[in-house]
Amino acid sequence: MRIVIAGGGLGGLTCARVLKAHGVDAVVCERDAGPEARVQGGTLDLTVDEGQWALREAGLEAGYRAIARPEGQDMVLYDSAGTLLRQEITPDEGEARWGRPEADRPALRKLLLDALPESSVHWGHAVTRAEPLGDGRHRVHLSGGESLECDFLVGADGARSRIRPLLTDAEPAYCGAHGMELVIHDADRAHPTASALVGRGGFSAIGDHQTLSAQRNGDGTIRVHLALRCAEDWPETSGIPFDDPARARVALKELYAAWPTEFLALLDATSGPVLVYPLTALPIGLRWEHTPGVTLLGDAAHLMSPFAGQGANLTMRDGAELALVLAQGGDVRKFEEAMFDRAEPAAQMSADNLELFLSDGAAEKVRHLFAKMSGEED
């Protein structure tokens, strides 16, 4: 059986690696020109039952523990006036450290790539479309005019999946907010005050309709994220010159002008471009009728906003579970049903959290929520 996986992200590579561990080869078609073609993003926390489980099935648990940073689970949460709402410190010893440790996305991707034959990934081959050939087989068209035929096609190609139209006409919709990412380089040496504020893990602060957060990465950088409730065309209508990062930072600080100066110092410490992106999601509870020879996983199947922190874990669990079904000749419909059941509550949580954290009086609502969870309030 010839298997083609569209997309060489964490989901597609996990699927390919677990297949390989069971003696099954797959072809991964990836649009990037090579593994170092672009920045792969920040740090991810993998849970025991999802991301870490997938890596165990891939035979990579030891490799994962070598790159993971348990201390990255440390977090502090403030309101926009500087009041501490919550703090969590990771123990320095014991198995509890491995609940959901952080690992940098580039390191995770390298771990998976190193466990695959070089010939498995076809770099610079973006999937442009796919067509059914009958009997569950498909022809996959690639950038550059080439095509591949396969017995099973996996759509692991993200939010703008070219495989999704084979199964559903659903498309991602705007969630009512934009995110922005900036980077602090050489944080410990060049920006010790900002580094101390973030600590070993992450910092977050909540205001009305806006958040500010920062997360330490293993390469010495800190990634700073802003989230803002706004119209879909806000990047064009805001007047902020995002193509001029220095001026853009000044304008972004004005949006947070009433916040503590030590929080805004995180923005002052950043350098390089400002990445702006809309938060989008597929319909909660999206399902499709099973079609032989093709399925989706990860963001292609259940894109959600980052407010649940579940995306990478769900994607890697999807990839490993699908690989096990294919390797063992199982029923792909059972995989799809399990994926649907797993993704729906996570997508609902993501939508609910976005509404909560970007609402009026968000900080007070979150404070009451944590108090209720700890038993301090009924």
Residue 169: pLDDT band by 50, 70, 90 thresholds?
very high
Cα separation, 217 vs 72, whole angstroms:
8
Is this prediction's pTM over 0.85?
yes
Range(s) within the chain of domains with CATH label 3.50.50.60 = 3-69+98-171+283-355
| Overall fold of domain 173-281 | D-Amino Acid Oxidase; Chain A, domain 2 (3.30.9)
Q: How many CB atoms lie within 10 A of CB 275?
A: 14
126-135, 198-207, 303-312: which has the minimum mean pLDDT?
303-312
Cα radius of gyration (the chain): 21
8 Å CB contact between 34 and 123: yes
Q: What is the pLDDT of residue 94?
A: 84
pLDDT tens digits along 205-261: 999 999 999 999 999 999 999 999 999 999 999 999 999 999 999 999 999 999 999
How is domain 3-69+98-171+283-355 classified at the CATH fold level?
A: FAD/NAD(P)-binding domain (3.50.50)
Whole-angstrom distance, CA of residue 57 vs CA of residue 127: 27
- Residue 119 neighbours by CB distance under 10 Å: 8
Query: What is d(CA 53, CA 62) in angstroms, rounded to the nearest whole number?
Result: 12
- For the stretch 114-139, pLDDT in tens is 999 999 999 999 999 999 999 999 99
Residues spanned by CATH 3.30.9.30 within the chain?
173-281
Tally of CB atoms within 10 A around 290: 15
**12-42 pLDDT, tens per residue?**
999 999 999 999 999 999 999 888 877 767 8
Closest by CA position to 274, among listed 304, 255, 250, 309: 250
